[in-house]
Amino acid sequence: MIKNIALVFGLALIMGCSSTDDSDKGGSGTDDFDRSALLKNLADNIIIPAYQDFGPKLTTLKGSIESFVATPNQSTLEAARKNWLIAYKAWQHVEMFNIGKAEALNEYYYFMNIYPVTVSDIENGVSTGNYDLNTPNYHDAQGFPALDYLLYGVAADDAGIVAKFTSDPKAEGYKDYLTDVINRMDNLTQQVITDWTSGYRDQFVNSSKNTATSSLNKFVNDFIFYYEKGLRANKIGIPSGVFSTTPLADKVEGYYNQEVSKALTLEALNAVQDVFNGKSFNGSTTGASFKTYLEYLKVDRNGQNLSAIINAQFNEARTKIEGLNSNFSKQIVTDNTKMTVAYDALQRAVVYLKVDMVQAFNISVDYVDADGD
């Protein structure tokens, strides 16, 4: 797995910060938990259903973009925008699943949701027709963020956006680029879905041993990496300036839409918590999960179940995020302290997941996040 790698002392620092709680973590000392049951619940009730929800929504978006390209007007633009948001919300439920074909595609999510976009790359591609969306150089010029720019930010108002695809001298270039972006997104997604439904599911479920390359070990690492980097850092930490000398309000998700950064973040947090609890996608039933695994091991922290602590921290983070402006860029400009408070609430769960949980599962963390902890 391609990760952002930094010096190993970052993990050691987390371990040191958490060491004072070691004597209170409890645990049964034996681990006969049925990991296959956990993997089966993940595959059958969460991962595959989430992809099967996302795939058709992306295909619907593709159809609406094709209609806009064929007949650019206010009505077709609004339809494309509506389906962009529907698909983007559904994406939040699958981005963390960087395993199987998603990993084999040189990190599927790199082609779907790297933001902010590099506008100059898009505009150069539109002008010259010379671009290759298969290359890492175009990770930040495609996917949902590129659609965000092309559907919302390519001109100052809706009339100007429609004109870019009609009367502008580069109209055909804009049409081609928009079409190529959505076609690539749809093609990659169908490959991932087909992989899960035509053999990889069984491979995933049957790989239940505790090894560095087994399904659960890799999935746990991908889950934590997504929470730490994809959710905590990318959605809130980086734009609020946690990792820089000043806030970076232009680095929020859905920047050009201006109204969805909070909605996307809450969708992602809900997806993370549902996976942790083993909650079926779009349902209310729960099965074997990280939560039940921790409860089986009787892992506690200062006399409280670790699973309850983690859920409480997710809930606290949600409360802080719900109090933010729907437009994170505006929130950063008007009162960035609320953004950093939300970041801190997300951050407090990192140690619980990255240290306490993985130690209980006897799994090694295979990355050190470059942003620090």
pLDDT at residue 23 above 70?
Answer: no
Question: Is residue 58 assigned to a domain?
Answer: yes
Q: What is the pLDDT of residue 2?
A: 41
Q: What is the pLDDT of residue 366?
A: 87
Q: Stretch 8-34: mean pLDDT, rounded?
A: 50
The three-state DSSP-derived secondary structure of 324-363 is CCCCHHHHHHHHHHHHHHHHHHHHHHHHHHHHHHHHHHCC
- In a 13 Å sphere around the CA of 6, the CA atoms on its Cβ side amount to 12
Whether residue 361 sits in one domain with residue 234: yes
- At 127-138, the pLDDT tens digits run 999 999 999 999
Question: Is residue 18 assigned to a domain?
Answer: yes
Least confident span in 10-14, 279-283, 301-305, 351-355:
10-14
Give backbone dihedrals phi and psi of 132, rounded to 5 degrees, phi first: -135, 105
Question: Is residue 253 assigned to a domain?
Answer: yes
Extended strands (E) in the chain: 300-301, 304-305
pLDDT at residue 28 above 60?
Answer: no
Whether residue 228 sits in one domain with residue 369: yes
Burial class (CB in 10 A: 0-12, 13-18, 19+), 159: exposed
Whether residue 255 sits in one domain with residue 215: yes
Q: What is the pLDDT of residue 21?
A: 40
Last residue of one domain, picked from the residues 208, 232, 247: 208
Which of 231, 363, 219, 302 has the alpha carbon at shortest distance from 18? 302
- At 78-105, the pLDDT tens digits run 999 999 999 999 999 999 999 999 999 9
Whether residue 340 sits in one domain with residue 197: no
Q: What is the pLDDT of residue 29?
A: 52
pLDDT at residue 10 above 90?
Answer: no
Last residue of one domain, picked from the residues 156, 181, 208: 208
Torsion of the alpha carbons at 136, 137, 142 and 146, rounded to the nearest 10: 140
Question: Is residue 37 assigned to a domain?
Answer: no
Whether residue 181 sits in one domain with residue 85: yes
Whether residue 185 sits in one domain with residue 124: yes
Question: Is residue 355 assigned to a domain?
Answer: yes
Task: State the CATH number of the domain containing residue 303.
Answer: 1.20.1420.20
User: What's this model's pTM, rounded to 2 decimal places?
Assistant: 0.92
Question: Is residue 42 assigned to a domain?
Answer: no
Whether residue 66 sits in one domain with residue 112: yes
Whether residue 204 sits in one domain with residue 65: yes
Q: What is the pLDDT of residue 208?
A: 93
Query: How much of the chain, in percent, has pLDDT values that exceed 70?
Result: 91
Across-strand partners of 304? 301
Q: What is the pLDDT of residue 31?
A: 84
State the Cα–Cα distance between residues 191 and 52, nearest whole angstrom.
Answer: 12
Which residue would you say has higher pLDDT here, 193 or 4? 193
Question: Is residue 104 assigned to a domain?
Answer: yes
For residue 12, what are the domain limits?
1-30+210-373
Whether residue 104 sits in one domain with residue 131: yes
Give backbone dihedrals phi and psi of 243, rounded to 5 degrees, phi first: -110, 15
- At 208-262, the pLDDT tens digits run 999 999 999 999 999 999 999 999 999 999 999 999 999 999 999 999 999 999 9
Burial class (CB in 10 A: 0-12, 13-18, 19+), 286: middle
- At 141-182, the pLDDT tens digits run 999 999 999 999 999 999 999 999 999 999 999 999 999 999
Whether residue 276 sits in one domain with residue 249: yes
Whether residue 234 sits in one domain with residue 199: no
Whether residue 249 sits in one domain with residue 109: no
pLDDT at residue 5 above 80?
Answer: no
Question: Using 50, 70 and 90 to split pLDDT, how confident is the model at 204?
Answer: very high
pLDDT at residue 336 above 80?
Answer: yes
Number of domains in the chain: 2
Which of 300, 354, 310 has the alpha carbon at shortest distance from 11? 354
Question: Is residue 35 assigned to a domain?
Answer: no
Last residue of one domain, picked from the residues 208, 241, 261: 208
